Chains A and B, each alone.
Chain A
């Protein structure tokens, strides 16, 4: 379990008036969702968390170690990122080689590499497709493949950028289970998402951004209990709350239908 400490961070793109500005943020939970509107700064924060671009001001520390000072190998072992668009990550001739590519930069033991690839492919259900050209896969399969490439390296921290996007329902379930498993086995998972139902059902902690600033940090129940920050972040509450409000004029916080049922069937 790692602790990410962000202090006094400023980042601005050249020729743009958008600025990401985070005074103090520590991410110490195993499952954290980052939410906000388009252009709120989520992706910029992710880019900074990969350590591949440096902020103009401030620093990011992971377990009290400055991210900027990690060697490329340490970085690969610490942080893995799964991008929104899987097509920009893939280039190898087969699914299997794709998973092997990053891994073989860290490991030299051929047997270990083989075993790891097998495991990674199995956990996303792509074993059968291991000899296929990655560009012949469907979009959800491509996305699962990019997850497998990171699973093979087994970093401490997983960054998922919009993992639910363009996935079908079975793949969404698979990824949810996978993320929960990672969190239970001592990894840290941070996910950018628009899907508030998913946040409400899956994430115990969340961070909301708006216009480059952190507007909320804490448990989802608190976030959704006051409509102001939700609106400020350009978001909608979980659908179950909308149903309760519109049908029963009930303005309490509910995260899932199960949550609603528990609170009501008791009486």
Chain B
């Protein structure tokens, strides 16, 4: 009886048709908006973090890995089109983050503070593994965050392999960022009214 997405249109895009409920369709733009705002607030407070995946985390927790992955993807595409074109390619990273959060949450790895700690490390790893090649291709291995790049420069200066240096640069930043985001998402999710959680669960 749940309202399912009916689309009888003969479409050229049907190859990447994903089954989305209306609830998920309206949740995803909201999650992208939250990513934006969180990122802007982090910049406003001069935090050495991005926080730009908070919405993606919450979308994954509320409506599953697909919703999270799409939020992440659209977030980077829109962000890329409007503010920083190169960040479009990091859409792949965001998809990875969305899926990782969704699976971890589903398996109960967001139930308490201790488990969130483990989740944060795993998500940071996922993010780093996907981002490092992109950093190398586009930025010669840098991340664009001053003190992360300082680590990178030092390692390169000591003739350490560019991949390892880039990985370290990215991982240090990701670890800090994903810890912050994972705990924020954990605290915020606990506060959501039950009717809200049920609604998105029902309409997945």
The answer to whether A and B assemble together is yes
A-side interface residues toward B, CB under 8 Å? 91, 93, 133, 135-136
Residues of B within 8 A of A91 (CB): 191
Residues of A within 8 A of B194 (CB): 136
Which 8 pairs from chain A and chain B are nearest by CB? A135-B193, A136-B193, A133-B193, A93-B191, A133-B191, A135-B191, A91-B191, A136-B194
Query: Complex Cα distance A245/B193, Å?
Result: 49
Chain A CB within 10 Å, residue with most, of B190, B193, B195: B193
B interface, by DSSP: helix, strand, loop or mixed? helix
Query: Complex Cα distance A136/B191, Å?
Result: 10
B-side interface residues toward A, CB under 8 Å? 190-195
Residues of A within 8 A of B190 (CB): 93
Can you list 11 A-B pairs with a CB-CB distance of less than 8 A? A91-B191, A93-B190, A93-B191, A133-B191, A133-B193, A135-B191, A135-B192, A135-B193, A136-B193, A136-B194, A136-B195
Query: Complex Cα distance A64/B135, Å?
Result: 61
Residues of B within 8 A of A135 (CB): 191-193
Query: Complex Cα distance A36/B190, Å?
Result: 41
Expressed in whole angstroms, the minimum distance between the Cβ of B95 and any Cβ of chain A is 31
Q: Which residue of B lies closest to A90 (CB)?
A: B191
Expressed in whole angstroms, the minimum distance between the Cβ of A93 and any Cβ of chain B is 6
Q: Which residue of A lies closest to B191 (CB)?
A: A93
Residues of A within 8 A of B193 (CB): 133, 135-136
Q: Which residue of A lies closest to B190 (CB)?
A: A93
Residues of B within 8 A of A133 (CB): 191, 193
Expressed in whole angstroms, the minimum distance between the Cβ of B33 and any Cβ of chain A is 16
Expressed in whole angstroms, the minimum distance between the Cβ of A174 and any Cβ of chain B is 24
Expressed in whole angstroms, the minimum distance between the Cβ of B197 and any Cβ of chain A is 11
Query: Complex Cα distance A91/B192, Å?
Result: 10
Residues of A within 8 A of B191 (CB): 91, 93, 133, 135
Q: Which residue of A lies closest to B193 (CB)?
A: A135
Residues of A within 8 A of B192 (CB): 135
Query: Complex Cα distance A133/B194, Å?
Result: 10
Expressed in whole angstroms, the minimum distance between the Cβ of A91 and any Cβ of chain B is 7
Expressed in whole angstroms, the minimum distance between the Cβ of A139 and any Cβ of chain B is 13
Query: Complex Cα distance A93/B187, Å?
Result: 10
Expressed in whole angstroms, the minimum distance between the Cβ of B61 and any Cβ of chain A is 17
Query: Complex Cα distance A136/B197, Å?
Result: 12
Query: Complex Cα distance A91/B191, Å?
Result: 8
Residues of A within 8 A of B195 (CB): 136
Query: Complex Cα distance A238/B190, Å?
Result: 46
